[in-house]
């Protein structure tokens, strides 16, 4: 029998130390990721699964999100606060983390985790709960997915691209597609320079670029000082690395990397939509990969998106993004999105609202870059 332990606070050091028992745990399940994102409208739920010997056999951290108030427009902020009873949802990334290789035990533990999820959905009145499986968990099979299916979760295939950093850098470079290599070399020839973010002033530049990028989506960072402090805290606590791309002393693009358990994940990629920014992106990605290699990391997870088949409609226009990420030569890995509504009526209302917001953002995206 397994026991469930659900907490809103935990011993951060012990939580992260337990995660290191698994080769596939990443930054997204750490206390550090959750703590720096903790705000009034966000709070964490830590799930421990414990065996009869009081040993932690599984972990899952879920973020409860009421509204997107710090990354929205002022009008949307007011609307989302008014309807927060149908926008409160839960999400987890790259979990759960199960600390056993025994497949039978894994299924029993997974069932226990999903029972804990039921408690959380009910207690916090979630409109839905969704999560993404860890791409490096190679023991996920049909029986594992069946546990989710039997609980009422909708399962969607996602794809990501993993670069094995234990291989020689020459081999990694050889797998990058030809035109992408040309763009990396072109960036250098056109005097695009890359540097690591080091100062608070550079962090302010980074956040201003973030604001510029957000406005192209019809959004805005409502509290720039708060955002600067949040990111500077990550930087000074050595849990995030930011690289900046400049052209003629102007910041044109940036990438932020998070890392844990020797796995590196880009968590933010920004650009100014200037002409030079098209080369800033490839230069930054190659810099990120080479830095990760030099830092003795093992995996660079460039991330991806939904797996869209040839005959499927690409509703969210994700194909261009996954196409770009595929060009870096990483191994294509399938992982999964799991989603369960908290209630049919509330979920349908949320979907209708989300469709309206998507139309709004699509219209903004088509017009704003030219204006900027």
Regarding whether 235 and 283 lie in a shared domain, the answer is yes
DSSP result, 134-178: -TT-TT--HHHHHHHHHTT-EEEEEEEEEEETTS-HHHHHHTS-H
Regarding whether 339 and 202 lie in a shared domain, the answer is no
Cα gap 240→233, rounded to integer Å: 9
pLDDT for the residue 331: 97
Regarding whether 172 and 75 lie in a shared domain, the answer is no
In terms of residue numbers, what domain contains 77? 3-157+335-371
CATH number of the domain that 105 lies in? 3.40.630.30
Regarding whether 153 and 32 lie in a shared domain, the answer is yes
- 10 Å CB burial of residue 363 (0-12, 13-18, 19+) is exposed
Regarding whether 249 and 150 lie in a shared domain, the answer is no
Regarding whether 205 and 177 lie in a shared domain, the answer is yes
Regarding whether 307 and 221 lie in a shared domain, the answer is yes
Regarding whether 299 and 181 lie in a shared domain, the answer is yes
Q: What is the pLDDT along the chain (372 residues), one digit of tens a residue?
A: 899 999 999 999 999 999 999 999 999 999 988 875 555 567 899 999 999 999 999 999 999 987 654 455 555 555 555 555 677 899 999 999 999 999 999 999 999 999 999 999 999 999 999 999 999 999 999 999 999 999 999 999 999 999 999 999 999 999 999 999 999 999 999 999 999 999 999 999 999 999 888 877 767 787 889 889 888 988 888 878 999 999 999 999 999 999 999 999 999 999 888 777 789 999 999 999 999 999 999 999 999 999 987 666 665 656 777 888 999 999 999 999 999 999 877 777 777 776 766 665 555 555 544 433
Could you count the other beta carbons within 10 Å of the beta carbon of residue 78?
12
* Whole-structure pTM value: 0.89
Q: Give the list of residues 6+ apart from residue 132 with CB closer than 8 angstroms, or none.
A: 92, 93, 94, 95, 158, 335, 336, 337, 338
């Amino acid at each position: 029998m397994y026991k469930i332990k659900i907490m809103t606070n935990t011993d951060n050091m012990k939580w992260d130390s337990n995660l290191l028992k698994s080769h596939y745990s990443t930054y997204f399940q750490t206390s550090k990721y959750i703590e720096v994102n903790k705000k009034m409208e966000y709070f964490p739920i830590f799930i421990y699964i414990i065996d009869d010997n009081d040993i932690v056999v599984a972990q899952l951290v879920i973020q409860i999100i009421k509204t997107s108030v710090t990354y929205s427009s002022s009008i949307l902020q007011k609307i989302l606060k008014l309807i927060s009873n149908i926008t409160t949802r839960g999400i987890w990334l790259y979990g759960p983390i199960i600390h056993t290789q025994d497949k039978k035990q894994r299924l029993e533990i997974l069932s226990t985790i999903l029972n804990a999820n039921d408690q959380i959905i009910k207690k916090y009145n979630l409109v839905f709960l969704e999560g993404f499986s860890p791409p490096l968990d190679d023991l996920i099979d049909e029986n594992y997915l069946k546990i989710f299916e039997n609980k009422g979760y909708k399962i969607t295939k996602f794809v990501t691209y993993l670069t094995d950093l234990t291989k020689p850098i020459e081999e990694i470079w050889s797998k990058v597609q030809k035109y992408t290599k040309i763009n990396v070399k072109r960036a250098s020839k056109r005097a695009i320079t890359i540097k690591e973010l080091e100062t608070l002033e550079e962090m302010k530049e980074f956040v201003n670029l973030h604001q510029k990028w957000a406005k192209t989506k019809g959004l805005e960072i409502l509290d720039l000082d708060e955002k600067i402090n949040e990111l500077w805290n990550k930087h000074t606590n050595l849990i995030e690395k930011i690289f900046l791309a400049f052209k003629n002393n102007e910041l044109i693009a940036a990438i932020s990397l998070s890392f844990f358990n020797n796995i590196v994940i880009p968590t933010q990629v920004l650009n100014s939509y200037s002409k030079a920014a098209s080369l800033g992106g490839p230069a930054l990605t190659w810099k990120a990969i080479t830095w990760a290699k030099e830092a003795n990391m093992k995996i660079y997870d460039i991330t991806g998106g939904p797996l869209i088949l040839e005959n499927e409609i690409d509703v969210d226009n994700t194909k261009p993004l996954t196409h770009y990420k595929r060009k870096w030569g990483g191994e294509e890995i399938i992982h999964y999105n799991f989603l369960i509504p908290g209630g049919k009526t509330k979920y349908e209302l949320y979907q209708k609202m989300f469709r309206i917001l998507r139309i709004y953002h699509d219209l903004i995206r088509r017009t704003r870059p030219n204006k900027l």
